[in-house]
Structures are given as structure tokens and as C-alpha cells.
């Protein structure tokens, strides 16, 4: 017991020193680079009211002619602001952040980051607000539909934003601790090799930030096509750009088994290339937008931001 307490004490002192050193630019950029491999990339240098306009910007001139009219301009709305405010508040709770940081360092020896977050119930993500979701699908706040399937739903916080529009909500997850979170929220969890064969058709399938984190993205696209309601059905798909696929396996990172051939470097170029990949899988782009993919912060950062492209796809 005494040994344990001294270990905790040393750990706290270590973190306090680390926090002091944090002002050093080198350490900060060095650590955020290694954090990229844990999917939490570019830490915020400037506060969001200084840089948030860049999160939504698109150079429509470099889009292919067919895609240009499909672009929807998004902006920092109330729903996003609420998430950011909450995240900034939470990262200021030092004792909770210390506890999370300590537990993660213990569990990271044998668990994936996703599973640790699921276990501790932290690191929730934000893709779009309800208004942004409705604008992309071109529906009103009262729009109702029958069935949603959210693939790779994480802890279900993003599912919750979509949930008021649906009577039945099905989800899939790879991580066991995330499955517990989803069951707690009363979603119907389907096995990752079972959802393709239930015989059900879905009105909306969401595949948010999953294609770059699974082993078979090309197969996944085709499977989604096969269980989507064939006329009114839509897929809502988010992908972090620049495209950088890797799969979490326990505490390790692996290359995916199937390659998705995304070309170009700029956000707009990769979007052009993705439209071709979707077409091959039997989908046309109906609308798309650029949004920040936000993650709750920890003791070092108020929140983390990745760059998302969000598409609404219709079956061809």
C-alpha cells in the first residue's frame, strides 16, 4: 500500500513537472506528433475563436465540376460551441484529469486507446450538431424515419445527435468497452460480422470516421450498399483527411488488410478522389461539407481537432 501511494505521488510530481515544461514549443510539438498515432492530432495552438473559420473553408475552384454544386458551407454553430465550452470546462478539472491520465498509463500496456476511453467514459467525440446533420440530409427538425445503423459508433455520443429522427437504432463496435457504453445507452448492438446478414434494410447508415480505422474499407462500402434501402436510403460518411489509414489492435497499430486508393494531398483533391471510390462502390455524392472532428481534451489540451469531410451518399 505504501509502495502504491509513493508511486502515485511520484507520478503526480512527474505530471506537474511535465505541465510546467509544456510551454516549451519543442516538447509540445514533439508530443503532439506522437499523439497523432493515437488519432488525437494537431493540438490547438490558437484559441478556437481565432482559427475556427479555417475549420470550414473549402476552395471550391479546385473541386471537380460535378462536385462543386454539392458542397454545403458549414460554420461554428451553437451545438458545436456548446461541445467546445463543455470540453474546455472538463479539461480544467485537475483531479479528474490526473485520475484519467494515471489510469490510461496503466491500461495502455495492454489495451487500445479506444477501449481505455470506453472504460473511463472519457474522450467523447463530436462530428456534427443536429442542425448540421439536418442541413446535410436536407430535412427539417421534425423529419422522422424508421431505421438507423451506426457502424463503429464509439461511445454513442455521435449516435445520440442523430437519434431523435429514428424509431429503431442499431449500432456496431469493435471495442468491448465501447459496446458496454452503447448497451448502457439502450442501442441495439449488432455483431461486426452479423449486421450484413440480418435481412433488415436501413433508411440511414452512418459510417463516421471508420473507413480509415477498419481492415476492409472497400468491402465495407459494398456491404453498406447491400443493406441500404434502395431508393430513399442514404449513407452519411465522415472521413478524416489527409487520409491516413491504420487499425488499432490492442495497444498496437497495424496497416489495414485492404487498401483504399485515395490520391492528392489537399483536402479538395482527396475529396475529388473519394467521389470516384464511392462511385465504384455504387454510390453518388449528394451533398458534402467540411467540419472539424472534435475530441474532448485532457490535462494538456482543452480539446483536439481533426479535419473531416462529411458526405451524404445515395445509391446509384
Ligand X SMILES: *[C@@H]1O[C@H](CO)[C@@H](O)[C@H](O)[C@H]1NC(C)=O
Binding site for ligand SAM (CB under 6 A): 114, 125, 127, 151-154, 158, 172-175, 178, 192, 208-210, 213-214
C-alpha cell at 108: 495502455
Does 89 bind ligand X (CB under 6 A)? Our answer is no
Applying CB under 6 A, the span of 55-63, 78-86, 110-118, 244-252 interacting with ligand X comes to 78-86
What is the rounded CA–CA span in Å between residue 54 and residue 41? 16
Question: For ligand X, which residue has the nearest CB?
Answer: 85
Position among 24, 29, 60, 85 found at the interface with ligand X (CB under 6 A): 85
User: At closest approach, how far in Å is the CB of 147 from ligand SAM?
Assistant: 17
Q: Are 201 and 227 in contact (CB under 8 A)?
A: yes
From the list ligand X, ligand SAM, none, pick the one residue 309 interacts with, judged by a Cβ distance below 5 to 8 Å according to partner type.
none
Tell me the site size for ligand X, rule CB under 6 A: 4
Applying CB under 6 A, the span of 81-89, 93-101, 102-110, 255-263 interacting with ligand X comes to 81-89
What is the rounded CA–CA span in Å between residue 105 and residue 101? 6
C-alpha cell at 71: 458542397
User: Does residue 242 have a cis peptide bond before it, meaning omega lies within 30 degrees of 0?
Assistant: yes
Q: Three-state secondary structure along 263-304? A: CCCCHHHHHHHHHHHHHHCCEEEEEEEEEEEEEECCCCCCEE
User: At closest approach, how far in Å is the CB of 215 from ligand SAM?
Assistant: 7
Does 82 bind ligand X (CB under 6 A)? Our answer is yes
Does 78 bind ligand X (CB under 6 A)? Our answer is yes
Decide: helix, strand or coil at residue 250.
Answer: coil
| List of residues contacting ligand X (CB under 6 A) | 78, 81-82, 85
Amino acid at each position: 500500500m505504501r509502495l502504491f501511494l509513493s508511486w502515485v505521488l511520484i507520478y503526480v510530481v512527474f505530471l506537474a513537472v511535465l505541465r510546467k515544461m509544456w510551454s516549451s514549443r519543442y516538447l509540445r510539438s514533439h508530443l503532439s506528433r506522437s499523439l497523432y498515432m493515437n488519432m488525437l492530432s494537431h493540438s490547438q495552438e490558437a484559441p478556437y475563436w481565432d482559427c475556427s473559420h479555417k475549420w470550414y473553408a473549402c476552395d471550391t475552384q479546385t473541386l471537380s465540376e460535378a462536385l462543386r454544386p454539392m458542397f454545403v458551407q458549414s460554420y461554428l454553430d451553437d451545438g458545436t460551441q456548446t461541445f467546445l465550452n463543455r470540453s474546455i470546462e472538463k479539461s480544467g478539472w485537475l483531479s479528474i484529469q490526473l485520475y484519467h491520465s494515471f489510469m490510461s498509463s496503466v491500461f495502455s500496456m495492454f489495451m487500445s486507446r479506444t477501449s481505455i476511453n470506453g472504460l473511463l467514459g472519457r474522450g467523447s467525440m463530436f462530428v456534427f450538431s443536429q442542425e448540421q446533420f439536418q442541413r446535410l440530409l436536407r430535412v427539417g427538425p421534425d423529419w422522422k424515419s424508421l431505421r438507423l445503423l451506426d457502424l463503429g459508433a464509439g461511445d454513442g455520443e455521435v449516435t445520440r445527435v442523430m437519434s431523435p429522427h429514428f424509431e429503431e437504432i442499431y449500432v456496431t463496435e469493435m471495442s468491448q468497452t465501447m459496446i458496454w457504453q452503447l448497451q448502457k445507452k439502450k442501442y441495439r448492438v449488432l455483431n461486426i460480422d452479423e449486421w450484413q446478414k440480418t435481412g433488415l434494410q436501413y433508411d440511414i447508415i452512418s459510417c463516421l470516421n471508420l473507413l480509415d480505422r477498419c481492415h476492409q474499407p472497400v468491402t465495407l462500402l459494398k456491404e453498406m450498399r447491400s443493406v441500404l434501402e434502395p431508393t430513399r436510403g442514404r449513407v452519411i460518411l465522415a472521413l478524416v483527411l489527409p487520409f491516413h489509414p491504420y487499425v488499432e489492435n490492442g495497444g498496437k497499430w497495424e496497416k489495414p488488410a485492404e487498401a483504399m486508393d485515395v490520391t492528392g494531398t489537399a483536402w479538395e483533391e482527396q475529396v475529388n478522389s473519394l467521389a470516384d471510390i464511392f462511385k465504384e462502390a455504387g454510390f453518388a455524392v449528394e451533398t458534402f461539407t467540411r467540419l472539424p472532428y472534435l475530441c474532448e481534451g485532457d490535462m494538456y489540451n482543452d480539446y483536439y481537432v481533426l479535419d473531416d469531410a462529411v458526405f451524404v451518399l445515395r445509391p446509384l
